Amino acid sequence: MTAIKTYAVYKNGILVLEDPLNLPEHTRVEVVIRKTFSEFVKNFGEPEAKEDIDEVLQKNRRRIHDA
C-alpha cells in the first residue's frame, strides 16, 4: 500500500482525522506522531543556527561543481 498523509486532532483520547480515508473497515495501519515545527518553536523557542546556511550552501555547490 502506498502512504497516505493526513492530519488529525487528538480529542478525548481519540485521533480524529481531518479527512476521511478510503480503507476497508478494521484495516490495520501504522501511525507516526509528529508535532509541527511551529509548535516546536512555540514550546522551545527559535533554534539557534550553528552555521550560516548561505555559507554551507555555497560550499556544497562549489564542492559539487568541482567534482
C-alpha cell at position 38: 511551529
Q: Which residues have C-beta within 8 Å of that of residue 47, sequence separation ≥ 6?
A: 41
Give the pLDDT confidence of 12-54 residue by residue, as tens digits: 999 999 999 989 999 999 988 877 777 777 778 777 778 888 8
Full domain range(s) for residue 57: 8-66
Whether 1 maps to a domain, the answer reads no
AA letter at 59 = K
On the CB side of 41, CA atoms within 13 Å amount to 6
AA letter at 15 = L
Give how many domains the chain has, as a whole number. Answer: 1
pTM greater than 0.85 = no
